Amino acid sequence: MSYYAHFVKINGSHLKRQTLEEHLLNVAKCAEEFSKTFRAQNWGYTAGLWHDLGKYSKRFQEKLRRLENGESDIRVDHSTYGAKFVFEKEGKLGKFIAYCIAGHHAGLPNATGSPSSLKERLSKELEPLKFEEIPKEILSHPKLDTDFLREWFSNLPDRQRAFGYAFFIRMLFSSLVDADFLDTENFMDPEKAKKRASYPSLLELQSTFQKKMEIFQKEKISENEELNEIRNEIYKECVTAAHRKPGFFSLTVPTGGGKTLSSLAFALEHAKKYGFDRVIYVIPYTSIIEQNADVFRKFLGDDVVVEHHSNYVQKDSKYDEEEKRLLATENWDAPVIVTTNVQFFESLFSNRTSRLRKLHNISKSIIILDEAQMLPIDYFIPSLEALRELVSHYSTTVVFCTATQPVLNKRENFPGLENVREIVSNPKKLFVNLKRVQEKYIGEVDQEQLKEKLIEEKQVLCVVNTRREAFELYSALVSEKKITGNYHLSALMCPTHRSKTLKEIKKRLKNKKICRVISTQL
């Protein structure tokens, strides 16, 4: 009897089938490749090999036959088979893989507490499989290597070890579900699969960046020599620090010090030295993401930077290029990812396949946490634990990049981080040299007085506490018909409108025209 995994109708009539053996071997090899980045290739291969073992059941093949003939569908639990099989074969070790197989469609299950928990799934009675009809190549698997797990976790406290095991399951799960999605897509929709990009390496991007950076620095020579000298020094220190061993770094640079380009220079040089696969920028605010992503595209090229956040607006480019970028948000297989704190950290702790699918591609990455002081306080410790796992066991470097560094070091009653290395040699001196604001308290003023003060200025930024205050002050300014060059910025603006307004503001500032901006803090 022939067993199938998927079918597709071409032109509405011609039936094309994928054999189950082909699908299982394809997914096994792909999951093996993905999990190789964290030394778990045998685990990934085994998970891929047995994830759809339940499709060898008579009932699942009946389901496919009914669907092919346009008959009503029947519900079949095919994922529990592989979970039970690997647990019976490997015992406690098999349980790691059983979590992944049991949840590869519905999401990672809990251990206990509900009918969908792993405990209940493993005790579920199922229709017997005809093992004599399953190819031997499918039923045999490589020995699961446990040496690296012993090396990782044997000397850790129980709580940290438990966290590490859970994190390992998530990474393994990610490798499996991405491999499964990709092979299924390749069979069901090969045209879509072809649109997934083959990207240049970070090594190639580093060469592109260097050339464009040299031109950029030459163009800036005549502008504010003192400021450019400071920025160039920061840039050089970032490139030098990139040769230090992977791990935790901090980049403490005041606003105006050029840390966006300098941190990118660090990441690309670090990748060249140690063979990293991608750079992931994690930023708290979507308004900053848009600006930083535009900078990265300018220096690296339009098609290598993928924005992944809720406010992303599709670019005016060829449809295929834009679809390629959108496909890359599914599994982060692009060389430069720009995303939010929420997207990044929720993915690390989620149970959903769509969120976890990208996790294996965080391995062998350089993570830049911009505005690091905005890490969520309520989830600060679990966030640090996740970052520690990534650095300790998944070949990752993390950079805390901000003007106001949070206190991260390990101390009594706080399980912080150890050996966070500062990139710049003298941050305090930088704050003195880059100080461009002189504070002066003017006392309490009402809206009318504030409006008059703003009218007196040719170029001025006024930051107020609430959206309502910002809008009312802006409205008061524009009500003065002779007063031009007024702008309003608010988090309520849509991304396109905000970007357009910022471009106008920058243009007026550069041309030394009147420009008064009223803004909320964000």
What pLDDT shows up at residue 53? 97
User: 68 pLDDT exceeds 60?
Assistant: yes
Which two three-digit tokens encode residue 37? 């980045």
Contact between 153 and 161 (Cβ < 8 Å): yes
Confidence (pLDDT) at 218: 83
CA 124 to chain centre: 36
CA distance 74 to 411: 57
Condensed to tens digits (0 to 9), the pLDDT of residues 1-36 reads 799 999 998 877 778 999 999 999 999 999 999 999
**CA–CA dist 186, 23 (Å, integer):** 10
CATH 3.40.50.300 matches 202-433: yes
β-partners of residue 434 are none
Q: If you average pLDDT over residues 238-245, what whole number do you get?
A: 98
Q: What is the pLDDT of residue 225?
A: 79
pTM of the prediction?
Answer: 0.88
Tens digit of each residue's pLDDT (9 = 90 or more) over 144-165: 999 999 999 998 889 899 999 9
> pLDDT tens, 391-437?
999 999 999 999 888 888 888 888 889 999 999 999 999 988 888 78
pLDDT at 20: 97
Distances (CA, A) of 514 to 291, 451, 460, 479, 488: 23, 15, 9, 17, 14
**DSSP assignment of 113-161, as one string?**
SSTTSHHHHHT---PPP-GGGS-HHHH--PPPP-HHHHHHHTTS-HHHH
- Measured distance CA(15)–CA(67) in Å, rounded: 12
For residue 222, is pLDDT > 70?
no
pLDDT reading at 314 higher than 70? no
Q: Which residue has the tokens 């018909």?
A: 481
Q: Give the CATH fold of the 447-519 domain.
A: Rossmann fold (3.40.50)
Residues of the chain with CATH 3.40.50.300: 202-433, 447-519
Is the distance from CB of 63 to CB of 76 less than 8 angstroms?
A: yes
Digit-coded pLDDT (tens) for 88-108: 999 999 999 999 999 999 999
